[in-house]
Amino acid sequence: MKKLLLVFVIAMVAITTVFAAGAQEVETGKKVFTVGINNFGQANFFARIGRESMIDQIEKNGGKVISTVTADVPSRIAAIENMISQGVDAIIIEEGDINQVAPPLIEAKKQGIIIGSMDAGDADFVDVFVESDNDQLGRASAEALMKAIGYKGKIVEIFNDAGSMIRVRKNALHEVVAKYPDVTIEWGFVYAWPDYLSDVKAKMEALIQAHPEKGAIAGVFATFDGAGLGAAQAIWEAGLQDTIKITGVDGDPEAYKEMRKPGSPFVATLAQDPETIARTVVDRVFDLLNGKKLEDRHIYIPGILITQDNIPAL
C-alpha cells in the first residue's frame, strides 16, 4: 500500500510539473519566431559580418534562422519566395537594392510578414530600415579625396549602381566635386560583383595605360573599400602611388592593411559598423514581431573617418 501511495505521489508531482511548465509558456506568451535573411553575396567583410551578426542576434532573441546567400536578383527572388513558403515571420534583406525584389516582398507583407532592410535601401513595404548614413559617408570620403589631391585634378569613380547605398555615395561625390572648380570626374567604371578585385585591377590598369603620365590621374573615389584595394594594386604596379590617391568606404580590415604600407595611395576610408547595424535591425524586427511600436523606422548608425593617422589596431 505504501509503495502504491509513493508511486501516486511521484506521478502527481510529474503531472504538476508538466502543467506548471505549460502554464509558464502560456503566461509568458513566448513564440519561436522564424526569420529569413538574405545576403547579396559574401564577397566583402561588411556582408560577412552582417550575416554572422544577424544570425547570432536572431538566436539570442530566441528565434530560428533561415539564412540564404545569393549573388543575383533572380536567385534572390527565388530565395525570398522559398522563405515565404516555409512560413517565416520576418524577412531581412542585406545590401543590394530591396526595390529590385519588390514583388515577392510585397506578397510577404500582405501575408503579415515583417520586412527589414539592412543597408539595402527603403521602400513602402519595408517596416524597418537600418543603415549607415551613406550620404554622409560619401561626402566625407569625397572631401578626404579632395584634400589629398590638393583640390585639383582629374579623378575616377568606381561604382556599381546595383547597390542602393552605392548610388547614394556616388551622388554625394558628385555634389562635393561640384564645389571645387579645379576637380573633374573624368572617368568612371563599374566593378563586377562578386569578383570585384581582379576586375577593378584590370580596369584600373587599362586606364593607367591610356594615361600613363604622372599627374594625369589625380585620385580614385572607391564607393567601397574592396574597389579601392583593386585600384591600389594597379597603382602600385605602375609606380604611381605617390601621385594617385584613393579614398573608400567601409573600414575593411584589408583596407587598413593597405593603408599601413609606407607611401600607400589609399589615404582614407569611412568605417562602417556592420555588427551594430545587423544587431539593430534584428532587434527592431523582434520588437515588431512582439507587437511593439518603433519610435523610428529608419535608423542611422554613424560612420567614422579613418586616415593613415588613426588606423584601428587589428
Q: Do domains 34-131+274-301 and 134-271 have the same CATH topology?
A: yes
Average pLDDT of the chain is 91
Is residue 11 scored above 60 in pLDDT? no
Model pLDDT for residues 210-232, shown as the tens digit of each residue: 999 999 999 999 999 999 999 99
What pLDDT digit, counting tens, does each position of 230-272 carry?
Answer: 999 999 999 999 999 999 999 999 999 999 999 999 999 999 9
pLDDT of residue 30: 75
Strand partners, 153: 183
> Which residue type, as a one-letter code, is found at position 230?
G
**SS3 (DSSP) at 247:** strand
pLDDT digits (tens, 9 = 90+) for 187-196: 999 999 989 9
DSSP letter (8 states) at residue 175: H
- pLDDT at position 29 is 57
pLDDT for res 5: 38
CB 80 within 8 A of CB 69: no
Instruction: Using pLDDT thresholds of 50, 70 and 90, give the confidence band for residue 44.
Output: confident
* Alpha helices, DSSP H, located in the chain: 2-28, 45-60, 73-85, 102-110, 134-148, 164-177, 196-210, 225-238, 253-260, 274-289
Sign of the alpha-carbon dihedral angle for 299, 256, 226, 176: positive
Burial tier of 107 (Cβ tally within 10 Å: 0-12, 13-18, 19+): middle
User: Alpha carbon of 60 to those of 13, 21, 56, 65, 279: distances in Å?
Assistant: 32, 21, 6, 11, 10
> Does domain 134-271 correspond to CATH entry 3.40.50.2300?
yes
CATH code of the domain occupying 34-131+274-301:
3.40.50.2300
- Tens-place pLDDT, residues 128-184: 999 999 999 999 999 999 999 999 999 999 999 989 999 999 999 999 999 999 999
CA–CA distances in Å: residue 310 to residues 167, 266, 270: 27, 13, 12
Q: State the cell numbers at 3.
A: 509503495
pLDDT tens readout for residues 111-129: 999 999 999 999 999 999 9
Domain ranges in the chain? 34-131+274-301, 134-271
Cα–Cα distance for residue pair 259/307, rounded to 1 Å: 8
Does the structure show a pLDDT above 90 at 20?
no
3-state secondary structure of 118: strand
Model pTM score: 0.83
Helix, strand, or coil (residue 36): strand
